[in-house]
Chain A
Amino acid sequence: MATVARPVEQMPRPNIPSANIQLPAVRSYQQVNDEIIATLTPTGAWFIGLGIAVTCLLIGIGSWIYQIYMGLGVAGYNPPVMWGVYIITFVFWVGIGHAGTLISAILYLFRAGFRTTIYRCAEAMTVFAVMTAGLFPILHLGRPWKFFWLIPYPHWRLIWPNFKSPLVWDVFAILTYLTVSTTFLYVGLVPDIAALRDRETNPIRKRIYSVLSLGWRNSDREWRHFTRAYLFLAAFSTPLVLSVHSVVSFDFAMALVPGWHATIFPPYFVAGAIFSGIGMVFTIIIPLRRWFGLRHYVTINHLDAAAKLCLFTSLVVGLAYLTEFWVAWYSGNKVEQQYFMNRVFGQWWWAAWIMLTCNMFLPLTLFSQKMRRNTTWLFILSLFINLGMWFERFVIVVPSLSHEYEPWQWTSYAPTWVDWSILLGSFGWFSMWFLLFIKQFPVIAIAEVKEIVPPRLRTHAATTEIDVSGQHVDYAPETPGEHE
């Protein structure tokens, strides 16, 4: 986490322009504090956004109350299609969360500098996305108030959960992921909350920030243990993020249902999750950097590097789609082959082609550097990716259940207004938390950004910057791609 300033002449400049992390327009630590803390002031547009989010949430809550009163029959289930929008949306939101951990933990371990300015946003997105995802298995229950029966705890009936069931693995995976992600987010926030505390003049807010910052003082003892703990948290989060969506994929892969019982599901799900999460990061960060005037922090170079990651995961997901078709053909299993024909050219062709277009074909535009550096296109593409990844889960869940082994069982499925309202409510719930977060806490990590800003020195003062390898080199104001 820490960087070191060394004399200029020892360091050759690496030629890795796309991974350039320099922030040429950020010249001092005070500027970082001033500009990032200034984003916390609420604006009229923020209140309008919050109002829309709360309205969507209330629509979702109202529909859920209606569903509890009337029963799950109002949710559009059509036997044997007993998994629908709720399970689709559960997988969708868990997937969204994965990019946050990828950016904050995995890229941290790989020392990918472009993560520095976007990771806080992605990490907060992870926590709120997993909070949203966790609601859906409960919404899917006929008696949602009994959800705690999945947690192993001693009680008088002496009944314990079945640890061989993927649904119990899910409980452990999701709860662990939520806890560790929240801890990771909070630990990273502590030094920044201390900076807010030291600047705050409102006594009530100052008291709140004092409590939340845990009396953090930026001392060498605190930083020494903090950086080590942060590293270990990142090291724990990395296999965790891979395990969580693997476990979610087991919900499907363990079942003897055509299209589900495949060994490629864990890597396929993990790649898809990271892909969808990067899409959501673009959806959030591109407007945010414009509204908050933070384009000189989240530079076009950072977006370019993230777009390459998006392209890579899109290619992995595309390969997984094609591999599924190949496995069905090569297996010689008639049921499996019929199912895939039905998915792409039959009953569900429209959903499958939305999925393939949004996730496989449109991201190929990111091979062009011009498109990767076009923020308008990145934003539009991110919306397509969000749509495509929701439909990917639709294509996994619904066509399999509606087209199993026996033709007399084949059926259809159409979500009802209750399904759509609860889906809308989930976006409201997520957006509400995110909007509240960005006005209470810095959306860019102050302490970490300061690491890539040249420290004030008696020697080399204001003439150096820090390059991709974390070393000081001559300041180059004409860096390509600095300006959009």
Chain B
Amino acid sequence: MRGVLGVFRELDSAVDAIAALRHAKAGSITVYSPTPRHEFEHALAHGPSVVRRFTLIGGLLGVTFGYWIAIWVSEYWPLVVGGKPIPSWVPYTIIGFEVMVLVGALSTVFGMFAVARVPRLMMTVGYDPRFSDGDYGIWVECPPDREAKVTQVLQENGAVEVRRER
């Protein structure tokens, strides 16, 4: 992996640089920012996150398991009380709900980890500690013959530092 990293002090400079890089088809762009900003989402034009699918699947599995364990246990030990049915869906809704929340929440988090590619064992190239402080970073992964062009675009849009990494 090799490319060019640009460090920006201003939000709008970084947004302009992303637009220029996309226009120039410079390469794969990764943006670092100390806090989530919609400006970057708009500039990068990524689709919606797929985390919602993990949430839905986890929630459905959870509620199914919650009802199933309660019903199965009742049928396994069938004590008739007052002539009422052995499984009782009203109290079992509590179990179904709690397990739905539990499994749904955990699958959301693990799904987020999977699609966001964390945990990350190595920081790899293209990261600077300033990006958790106050600066913005744009990492452009590109072949060597495009590095000069990318460097020029980043500098023209106000990058305070541009460096090549591999």
A interface residues, Cβ below 8 angstroms from B: 1-5, 28-30, 33, 152, 158, 160-161, 163-164, 168-169, 172-173, 175-176, 179-180, 183-184, 187, 190-191, 194-195, 197-199, 214-229, 232-233, 236-237, 239-240, 243, 247, 447-448, 450-451, 455-459, 461
Contact = CB atoms under 8 A, between A and B. Distances in A.
B39 A5 contact: yes
Contacts of A222: 116-118
Interface string B105-140: 110110111011111111100010111111000000
A224 B49 CA distance: 7
A202 B76 CA distance: 57
A482 to B, nearest CB: 23
Interface residues of B, number: 66
9 contacts: A2-B38, A175-B102, A184-B105, A225-B49, A228-B49, A229-B112, A243-B94, A456-B10, A457-B12
Given A180-B101, A215-B120, A224 B113 contact: no
Given A152-B69, A229-B51, A455 B108 contact: no
A173 B98 contact: yes
A276 to B, nearest CB: 22
Contact of A217 (B105, B123, B134): B123
A227 B52 CA distance: 11
B3 interface: no
Nearest to B138: A220
Contacts of B120: 214-217
A169 B94 contact: yes
B152 interface: no
Main secondary structure of the interface of A (DSSP, over half): helix
Nearest to B135: A29
Contacts of A173: 94, 98
A218 B112 contact: no
B116 A226 contact: yes
B35 A172 contact: no
Nearest first, the 9 closest Cβ-Cβ pairs linking A and B are A215-B120, A29-B134, A198-B129, A229-B112, A228-B49, A2-B36, A450-B35, A214-B119, A4-B38
Interface in B23-55: 30-41, 44, 46, 48-52, 55
A164 B101 contact: no
A448 B35 contact: yes
B30 A219 contact: yes
Contacts of A227: 36, 49
Contacts of B113: 214
Interface string B78-97: 00000000001001101101
Contacts of A233: 105, 108-109
A459 B12 contact: yes
B36 A226 contact: yes
B40 A195 contact: no
| Most chain A C-beta atoms within 10 Å of own C-beta, residue among B9, B70, B115, B132 | B132
A163 B91 contact: yes
Contacts of B34: 29, 195, 218, 447, 450
B65 to A, nearest CB: 11
A183 to B, nearest CB: 6
B33 A220 contact: yes
A243 B97 contact: yes
A133 to B, nearest CB: 16
A36 B131 CA distance: 17
A239 B33 CA distance: 32
B118 A4 contact: no
Q: Which of B39, B99, B104, B109 has the most CB of A within 10 A?
A: B109
B105 A183 contact: yes
A203 to B, nearest CB: 15
A225 B116 contact: yes
Given A2-B37, A187-B109, A458-B12, 10 more contacts: A191-B132, A215-B121, A220-B31, A220-B44, A222-B118, A236-B101, A240-B98, A243-B94, A247-B94, A451-B35
